[in-house]
Structure 1
């Protein structure tokens, strides 16, 4: 039997904590709008933090499926951007300590990795594990972003009910952690932010704002949000600029608004993924937005 603690090493002095939150997000699974990636990246950029545990990526990753970037200079290799999957200790704006686990999603040994996270959570006396990511939905950006909450206990989940019934989807390491550790008595929950499907491939800071606000409501942690909200406002202004300039986009957005409003009013729609009225697909809308943003970048340079 393999020892799960062999998958990570502790760094320096292990802090003595009391029921800290462990916020986690792995890159590689569905994350529409970069909701989870932007949320975690924002916190690590805004808050002082230090690494307390490092996972063995040589065992967990398939380098041939996502090759690290190496730098060649004239006649020699000079650098390799080695991936990191780590747990960091940070403090929110009130001084409350919490943990952040981030990095690439493991390619292999998911069950052993989940056990390793469990032993680490016990070692660090974690009180609650929380994950966030984005999922594409047929909803307009002009309406509040929905959030599907899920957890290991009913009392951990608050807010509107899920728009989904019982469904089967491709698995993720983040979901497996919630499933397995919840079965062992840990409190774990997650938030899937509903990102407009036409913005799923773009960076959409508003989704990250929504994710962190959900984390705050469930944990009491207070995060610095000004810069992230400014980025969200700027992105929204750019989107509105394009819509005003395009009759086709304006019509499509109005159609989505009508569909969304009917759904939230209780009309009999199966779910927000349905598209009962003719309109451009999410890919077509996304392509138009990407062209617009690319043209803006070129004009600004």
Structure 2
């Protein structure tokens, strides 16, 4: 992980519970960074899908903010060839080792069109700023219980990265978001990549998940070797879990469904669980979830 690191998150399909973008925003708040590169939104966004937002600025004037993607980094880098100052000098972030001035951020909305051209702009900017590794943050809806630690999966298509960090290669095949497109282009350009994904309980998909944000930050801190202040995240994660407990307590179907998820999760994580036992437990759970018997529905319940 030597060299400059770019941490990436996009709103939209890759951002269940706003966990990935929430984690990058935590970094943005703690790091002394300024915009270095902003993509022109005209070519890449459908404004009827990603609408511009009207809000008051610091002077009280109402301004329109357009959907886009922005790379942020040390302020001294903007328009100069100077080496950046350590990011932690004026922030509550303690960066260890050689990473003191090496963390960059890319935050934006997933583009609506022209993904190849969009990707080319991002990769060109990454090469311009001499980024050596890109870390993609994502979050997906999954059949997981909110009462257990958020599941995190880290993977890489880069052989050297997998060996150094003991990561796996993802076996997923199917539709992808902009993160996968950028990752392939980055590897082709000689920039190593890794992905960190959080699993967010699908039955609370309408609400932001501070517990998933916290899990992503924990894993990012472990891999990048930084110390990231959690602020109010720990308290917010507890309130989020307690709030779901209250709602589920008034819904027998939901409480029973969560108990099934907890049983499946505990079986998988028990020390004595064999591969065969785990497979049988999930087969039993999937059969029970898919046959729709009992309440006459084919879909699991959802909190609203």
TM-score by length of 1: 0.76
TM-superposition CA deviations, 1:61-120 (whole Å, max 9, x none): 22233232458xxxxxx6433224211126351252311111112223322222222222
Change (3 A) 1:209 1:273: farther
CA RMSD of aligned residues (A): 3.0
What corresponds to 1:45 in structure 2?
Answer: 29
Q: Note if 1:175 corresponds to 2:165.
A: no
Change (3 A) 1:274 1:60: farther
What corresponds to 2:224 in structure 1?
Answer: 219
- Within-5 A mapping of 1:131-146: 131-146=136-151
Deviation of residue 283 (structure 1)?
6.8
What corresponds to 2:18 in structure 1?
Answer: 34
Q: Note if 1:197 corresponds to 2:202.
A: yes
Deviation of residue 272 (structure 1)?
9.2
- Within-5 A mapping of 1:1-301: 19-70=3-54, 79-89=63-73, 91-92=87-88, 93-95=93-95, 96-97=100-101, 98-157=103-162, 158=165, 165-168=171-174, 170-264=175-269, 265=273, 266=275, 267-269=278-280, 275-278=286-289, 285-286=301-302, 288=303, 290=304
How many residues of Structure 1 are paired with residues of Structure 2 in the alignment? 264
Distance 2:48 2:253 in 1: 42
Distance 2:52 2:135 in 1: 28
Structure 2 regions of 5+ residues with no counterpart?
Answer: 56-61, 75-86
Change (3 A) 1:129 1:160: closer
SS at match of 1:80: strand
Deviation of residue 140 (structure 1)?
1.0
TM-superposition CA deviations, 1:175-205 (whole Å, max 9, x none): 1111111123211111111111212332111
Distance 1:245 1:70 in 2: 38
SS at match of 2:287: coil
Deviation of residue 223 (structure 1)?
1.4
Change (3 A) 1:195 1:49: same
Deviation of residue 230 (structure 1)?
1.9
- Is the 1:150–1:191 Cα contact (8 Å) retained in structure 2? yes
Which stretch of structure 1 is more off in the superposition, 116-125 or 130-139? Answer: 116-125
Deviation of residue 149 (structure 1)?
1.8
TM-score by length of 2: 0.76
- Is the 2:15–2:139 Cα contact (8 Å) retained in structure 1? yes
Structure 1 regions of 5+ residues with no counterpart?
Answer: 1-17, 72-77, 291-301
- Is the 1:147–1:193 Cα contact (8 Å) retained in structure 2? yes
TM-superposition CA deviations, 1:251-270 (whole Å, max 9, x none): 22111112223344332159
Distance 1:192 1:209 in 2: 12
